[in-house]
Amino acid sequence: MWLTRTAVHRPITTLMAAVVIVLLGFTALTNLSVDLMPHLQFPTVTVTTLYPGSGPEEVETLITRPLEQALSSVNGFERLSSRNLEGSSSIRVQFQWGTNLDTAIADMRQAIDKMRDELPDDIDPPVIERYDVNDSPVMYLGVQSELPLVDLTRFVERNVIPRLERLDGVARVGMRGEVRREIQVNLDRAKLEALGMGVNEVITALAAGNVNQPAGDYDEGGLQRLVRSRTEFETLDDVGDVVVRRRTDALVRIRDVADVVDGHEEITQLTRMNGQPGIMIYIFQQSGSNTIEVSDAVQAAVANLNNELRDARLVIRVDKSRFVRHAMSDMREAAGVGMILAMVILVLFLRSFRSTLVIAVSMPLSVLATFVLIYFGGFSLNMVSFGGIVLGLGMLVDNSIVVLESIFRKRSEGLSAEEAAVEGTGEVISAITASTLTTLIVFLPLLFVEGMAGVLVHQLAFAVSFSLICSLLASVTLTPALAAHWIRTAPDADLKSLHGVRRIAAPLHSLTRRAYGVVERAYGRLLQAALRAPGVTAFVIMLAFAAAVGLLPRVGSEFLPQPDDGRLGVRGTMAPATRLEELDRQTRRLEEAVTQRCPDAEAIAVFVGDEAEDGDDWHECRFFIELPPRSEREETVTEIRSRLDENLPAIAGMEIKTRVRSALPIFRMFGRSDGDEIAVIVRGHDRRTAEELANAAAEIMRGVPGLVNIELQQDQRRPELSTLVDRSKASLLDISVRDITQTLETAIRGTPATVFHDDGDEFNVTVRLKETDRKSRNDLGQVGIATPQGRIVALRNLVRFEPGESPLEIERLDRQRVSVITAAAEGRDLGNVVGDLQSRLAALPLPDGFSIEVGGDWEEQQKSFQLLSQGFILAVILMYVVMAAQFESLRDPLLILVALPLAGIGVVLVLVYWETTLNVQSFIGLIVLAGIVVNNAIVLVDYINQLRKRRPDADVAEVVRSAATRRLRPVLMTTLTTVLGMLPIAIGAGEGGELQAPLARVIVGGLLSGTVMTLLAIPVGYWLVATFQFMPVRERAERVAVR
């Protein structure tokens, strides 16, 4: 009461406090980081180890298994998975949520250091990195130029990338389609054989002939002068002049046995944007940076670079911030529409513009105050935090409505404006505090929810909670102060002073007054009939509840709703070891088909092959398709994907998959492509049996309706030529296995012997056989290797070649090999698809020691639903505790909680009507709804108790009917303002609207049904409890018969 009294008696101070909040709110809003989703720090660490030249099986045996054993001893780890590829091992360690990753990484580094001697000597040191959801480009830039690709690559590396990397918020800049310069020393095998030279001699000579090394300092005239040996290569002739062997009669130089060519590295990838070949630049943003600000900075830098550069032009091809801009803009529009609709309801019910403004001012004031708290809380402004504010807009006026209605009632009793403001607020402050606390208390258990659902819940809870707290403070300070000093007349009197709008507003208010009178009288008669026949009322309510329960099977489930950000992916896979020329030829056919079937696409990026280090992707082509915004196209991205999948022509030798690229930063343990929501994992000790089971499971999945893009991750094998060394012969000739493998690598792939410096840049000097000398297996056998005694031995005398196959990749989970089949759900909800899949997989006979489990998003969905269910139950218990303490009663809170199952009727109906699934967002909506829907029941029960205290001798039924009728107006006002405030979000229109729509729909449907049922069930229930509480059984029966 003292807070209200101070605000009423010191209105200028109250007004200045509001002005300060407004100023701070706008300042915080301009400085908030803006992004699509909250920053997600997944408790996952990746250990990557490179072992060039090794196969997946060697990588698994020599690197992955020892590392897994060492890493499994780190405290807090939950799951260990690994992917073994040609030349690389990638191990993901997933920790429990809440684990201190800095400590975990230190423990991992210590564990690796202890067993480093067990790993091969020639591997690159293991690299430990945190999993970063921002490790995907936010912008794609195309480079247009007439320069050759080698010169253009150097130009971009020197003039463009450094400028972009300096921008605030940019973490790193990548490049695709580059062709780097390389000095090639192409050996002639015939000349080497004629001179009796081995390829290892050439490598040694090049390394020894290209030296830049300081020799020390010497004193000269009081100065210390550095002596440096500078014998670096300056021209290609210097490379050719290097002496390989000195003979008595002549010198053998590089040019005598090889051709020195100023060329480029082997091209293993091609890049095209909208059909034009070139270089593409990727922009990666820093974790926690503002996506829109990063985009603005890059756009400004691109404009400046285009003005300065003469040999190239940068073009922004894809900008992911566009979707964020549109989504946030649509959210702002939804907030504006919600505010307007809420104000319209206030005007219609209050019939007073001043009263409407007094109540409506609490909305922007509470929102701005919430921006301040979000800023100091370290959160970003995203679809979750901003969506939470928008969802709570309608609730922000509820307390002010109740307060103003109570103030007007006190005025009608003859109190002065200031007395009515203080007394009216004091009469309802207990009820609105209890209703606010019950809304807030539901978020307390959600603090224990972990995982991605926990991150979403925490920011939503923070935004809604602080906005409601601010609205409560505004309702007991600013609202009574304005009511006392600005609204000096009766609610309708201000219309008479507004002569300009009187002719328009007066008929409208007259109509609403008559309409409300009809509703009030109808409700009074309905309530009276319900009190006379409580059994019939209860039966009707139970019948409606039973009908809703019957509709539950029609409500599907999924992990998270997928927003339509207009991004598609197409992947074409050919047989492993397919040459780049053949892959590109078939890719062009697919590119033409995709372009014809997506005429409205804004950008189509084509990636053919991959970098030299990523040999597992050399046989793949990938398309990145950027579609117009959702408002500018008739089809959804899912419908376009389905149409593409059906209409793309078959390409000889190529398997084509089309996917919707997800805008949500979801961590998936398996699956390399966006949209792979389901992962079926086959475990077992025998590899052949596991592969047979995986093939059988994949065949079953193809028969499940709603499953698309079914892909067995390990069904591809790459042809290889195994080299078996005769160790006894090698040891007799004093040749090490390492020398043999090094010679083979030099002959085929090439070995960087040294570097060539040119204008501050370094380029590899690579030695290998010329192309005509390494076309067949016989060519490899004739390559010579030099012994320490100077003899040349052909490799065919030391090794045996055996053709075979090796897996393209090997997946492991929890230190055991697994076979993984990934798929996506389309056309059916994830819950029903997985249920159907599990029932069919259960019929598959499994040998002893083998198991099949379904993971992916389904696994995360089950964990999240379990945590949210526990949070919901705990929230209901806490609500009861708060209400019991507030009412000092154990009975009244139980009566109020009857509103929860009644709200469930509307929840089911709205989910079925809008074909909305039960997902994490709609589940959060259920928890929020639990705290909102009881507010009307709290206000109603509290007022009934107040009337009974004032009129202790009055008939309970009459008191209940009178209290319910008097509270009808504020109940309808609070419900309609909340519902209409959320309605624009519930419709789900605009970019990203799919993400928050389920939450809003649950609240809208539950609040509508809960309010309607509460207006009948609570009065009838209260009357039954109050009337029959102390009566004997016979008297109760007689009382019912009489009524």
Q: How many angstroms separate the CA atoms of 465 and 445, rounded?
A: 13
The number of beta carbons lying within 10 Å of the beta carbon of residue 720 is 15
Residue-wise pLDDT for 181-191, tens only, equals 999 999 888 88
* pLDDT for residue 215 is more than 70: no
Nearest 10 degrees: Cα torsion 908, 909, 911, 915: 140
Nearest 10 degrees: Cα torsion 58, 61, 67, 68: 130
Give residue 545's pLDDT band: very low, low, confident or very high (50, 70, 90): very high
**Domain 181-264+719-807, CATH:** 3.30.2090.10
Which of 429-433, 477-481, 875-879, 903-907 tops mean pLDDT? 903-907
Q: How many angstroms separate the CA atoms of 360 and 346, rounded?
A: 8
Distances (CA, A) of 730 to 195, 204, 321, 540, 796: 22, 21, 61, 93, 12
**Domain 1-33+325-492, CATH:** 1.20.1640.10
DSSP letter assigned to residue 381: B
pLDDT at 1030: 45
Query: What is the rounded average pLDDT of the residues 738-755?
Result: 83
Residue-wise pLDDT for 747-771, tens only, equals 888 888 898 988 888 899 999 888 8
Query: What is the rounded average pLDDT of the residues 373-389?
Result: 85
Q: How many angstroms separate the CA atoms of 440 and 464, rounded?
A: 8
β-pair type (127-130, 276-277): unpaired
* pLDDT for residue 648 is more than 80: yes
Query: What is the rounded average pLDDT of the residues 541-559?
Result: 92
Torsional sign, CA 534, 535, 540, 542: positive
Query: What is the rounded average pLDDT of the residues 249-277?
Result: 88
Every domain of the chain and the residues it spans: 1-33+325-492, 44-130, 139-180+267-319, 181-264+719-807, 525-554+889-1043
| 1031 or 444, which is more confident | 444
pLDDT at 1039: 47
Contacts of residue 527, Cβ cutoff 8 Å, sequence gap at least 6: 961, 964, 965, 1015, 1016, 1019
For the entire predicted model, the pTM comes to: 0.83
Residue-wise pLDDT for 65-105, tens only, equals 999 999 988 888 888 989 888 888 999 999 988 888 889 99
Give residue 198's pLDDT band: very low, low, confident or very high (50, 70, 90): confident
Query: What is the rounded average pLDDT of the residues 628-634?
Result: 87
Query: What is the rounded average pLDDT of the residues 378-399?
Result: 81
pLDDT at 106: 92
pLDDT at 55: 81
Query: What is the rounded average pLDDT of the residues 948-972?
Result: 86
* pLDDT for residue 594 is more than 90: yes
pLDDT at 1040: 44
| 219 or 623, which is more confident | 623
pLDDT at 700: 94
Per the CATH hierarchy, to which homologous superfamily does domain 525-554+889-1043 belong? Multidrug efflux transporter AcrB transmembrane domain (1.20.1640.10)
Per the CATH hierarchy, to which homologous superfamily does domain 139-180+267-319 belong? Multidrug efflux transporter AcrB pore domain like (3.30.70.1320)
Q: Check for a shared fold between 139-180+267-319 and 525-554+889-1043.
A: no
Give residue 384's pLDDT band: very low, low, confident or very high (50, 70, 90): confident
Query: What is the rounded average pLDDT of the residues 980-995?
Result: 85
* pLDDT for residue 218 is more than 60: yes
Query: What is the rounded average pLDDT of the residues 948-965?
Result: 86
Nearest 10 degrees: Cα torsion 971, 977, 978, 981: 170
Give residue 414's pLDDT band: very low, low, confident or very high (50, 70, 90): confident
* pLDDT for residue 509 is more than 70: no
pLDDT at 504: 56
- Edge to edge, the sheet with strand 170-176 lists 170-176, 279-285, 139-144, 313-319
| pLDDT, averaged across the chain | 85
Residue 856: left if φ>0, alpha if ψ -120 to 50, beta else—which one? left
Angle at alpha carbon of residue 808, lines to 690 and 773, rounded to 5°: 145
Amino acid identity for residue 105 in this structure = I
The number of beta carbons lying within 10 Å of the beta carbon of residue 593 is 17
* pLDDT for residue 1011 is more than 50: yes
* pLDDT for residue 448 is more than 60: yes
* pLDDT for residue 1034 is more than 80: no
Tokens of 670: 């398996």
Q: How many angstroms separate the CA atoms of 749 and 1026, rounded?
A: 90
Give residue 501's pLDDT band: very low, low, confident or very high (50, 70, 90): very low
Numbers of helices and strands, H then E, in the chain: 38, 31
Read off φ and ψ for residue 560, nearest 5 degrees: -140, 145
Residue-wise pLDDT for 116-166, tens only, equals 888 888 788 899 998 776 677 889 999 999 899 899 999 999 999 999 999
Q: How many angstroms separate the CA atoms of 282 and 290, rounded?
A: 17
| 638 or 786, which is more confident | 638
**Domain 44-130, CATH:** 3.30.70.1430
Give the chain's end-to-end CA distance (angstroms, integer).
43
Read off φ and ψ for residue 767, nearest 5 degrees: -105, 130
Q: How many angstroms separate the CA atoms of 861 and 853, rounded?
A: 15
